[in-house]
Structure formats: C-alpha cells, structure tokens
Amino acid sequence: MQTDLYSTTALKCSKLITEHYSTSFTLGIKTLDKKFHLPVYAVYGFVRYADEIVDTFHGHDKKTLLARFKADTYLAIDEKISLNPVLHAFQMVVNEYNIDKNLIEAFLWSMEMDLSFTNYTDDKYKEYIYGSAEVVGLMCLKIFCGTDVAQYEALKSPACSLGAAFQKINFLRDIKSDFEERGRTYFPKIDFLKFSEIEKKAIENDIKQDFDDAFEGIKKLPKAAKMGVYLAYVYYLELFKKIKNAPATTIMHERIRVGDTKKMSLLCAAYLKFQITSL
C-alpha cells in the first residue's frame, strides 16, 4: 500500500467510516492479520458510502448522485488518484490487488436497482444478492489470497455463499424498515402483509444451506484471514438464531439485533475455539 501522507489519511478515513457504521465488522477486521486491516476498511468505506446514497440521502437526486459516484469511482481507478478520500483509498486497493472491475460494476448496479426496483423476481433477487453482497466478499477474498489465483478460484463459491447468507439475514432483520420506509420487498413472491411461519422457514432453510457451504470455505482460508472471517460468521450465525427463534409477526415489527455484550462474548468464544481447533 502507498505510504504517502495523503494516501495514509485516505485509508484512515475509511477506517473511521467502518468504526462509526459497524461495530461488528470493525471487530471482525481487527482480528484479521494487520496487513489486511486498511485494505478491507477501504472496501467497506466504498460500499458503505454507495449504500448511503440510495438509502439515506432523501430530498436529494439520488440517481444523479449515484451516477456521479460511479463515474468518479472509475476515474479514480483509471487515474490512480481521487480527491475523494474514500475513492482514493478504494482505488489503491483495486489497483494493488487487481480487483476485477466486473465485481465493482455488479455492486454499483445493485445500488441502482435499489433506486428502481421495489418488488424482486427470482432472477432479480439473485442478481441483487450477487451484486450487493457476494461481490463484496469476493473483493475481500482477492485481498486475502493476494497473488494466489488458484486459491482465489477455489474459494470463490463459498465466499459467495457467505455473502449471500449475510445479505439474506439482513433482509430478514430489516424487513420493517425496508418494507415500511422504503417500499422494498426483496424476497420474491412474498406478501409481507401476510408473512407466514411457512415462508419464514423456507427462507431460513435457504440461509442454512448458504452457511453450511460457507463454513467449508472458511476452513480453507489463509490463516491470516481465517479468524476475522470466522468471527463475522459466528456473529451472523448468532443473529440468525435469534431471528429463527422469533415469530414471523415479531420480525415484521421489530429489528432483531445482537447486543454489544453478547458480541464481545462471541469474540472471546470464537477466539478460544480458533486457538484450540484452528477450524
């Protein structure tokens, strides 16, 4: 990574963004090998700010803002510099780790989908999950694997499964705000005015399969990355358990979360298990 003052400051901006927006991912990143911290913060800062455009910048022309953000992203990557510190940090990672622009395009398209779609078909649902979550996991995987292309290719599928599991859990957790505040229904063919236990169970079974597939990949990650990814897996698995134990009517009216004290106990338990078993 570049070490000039501007680049270092830009990377620290992405770190600050991560710390302010997500205590869970911050904890996960801190348990990665130190060499991965700033690159992963840069990826998170980029995706977080793109998501902010479509989710919270009400009263502004979101479509124009997102188009400008997209153009600035590619310009930053091509010119290897940006006056936007988030984009400068991101372009450094993209260029150093040879992150495929198709992954970036898929992510930005999923953000555009949030401005255009409110009800998703099966195909659009899969397309959205790939772009909004799976490709983010692939960007991080590219960082973890470095120049080992064979390892990256071998772990792509479980990395996508982990990203998909995280996103589907987010959908269940955020049903109330997505449906009531933004008018979005991500799960296809489901009427959330009549959301049933049967429908909830079907979604949960799908998520469990994603988790099972993802865990096989986590066990094969480079040692320097394994603990951090495992911690994120453990946290989301705990959130998944809480959602499974809640009735469908509850998740329609209440945002399920894992408390900070529980997060710390999960971190300690995951660390001890990792030290004993190494997965």
Alpha helices in the chain (DSSP H): 5-21, 23-30, 34-56, 62-79, 85-97, 101-116, 122-129, 135-145, 149-173, 175-176, 197-218, 223-245, 248-251, 260-277
> Does the structure show a pLDDT above 90 at 15?
yes
Residue 110 in tokens: 């999923």
Percent of the chain with pLDDT over 90: 70
Structure confidence at residue 215 (pLDDT)? 96
CA distance 63 to 61: 6
32, amino acid identity: L
Q: Which of 157, 181, 143, 218 is nearest to 56 (CA)?
A: 181
What does the pLDDT read at residue 193? 77
- Widest pairwise Cα distance in the chain: 56
Find the domain containing 65 and state its range. Answer: 5-277
Query: How far is the C-alpha of 166 from the C-alpha of 176, rounded, in Å?
Result: 17
8 A C-beta contact, residue 204 and residue 248: no
Q: What is the value of pTM for the model shown?
A: 0.93
pLDDT digits (tens, 9 = 90+) for 57-98: 999 999 999 999 999 999 999 999 999 999 999 999 999 999
For 86, counting Cβ atoms within 10 Å of its Cβ (0-12 exposed, 13-18 middle, 19+ buried), the class is buried
Q: What is the pLDDT of residues 181-220, one digit of tens each?
A: 777 889 888 887 788 899 999 999 999 999 999 999 999 9
CATH number at residue 151: 1.10.600.10
Overall domain count for the chain = 1
Q: Which two tokens stand for residue 277?
A: 């078993």
CB 231 within 8 A of CB 279: no
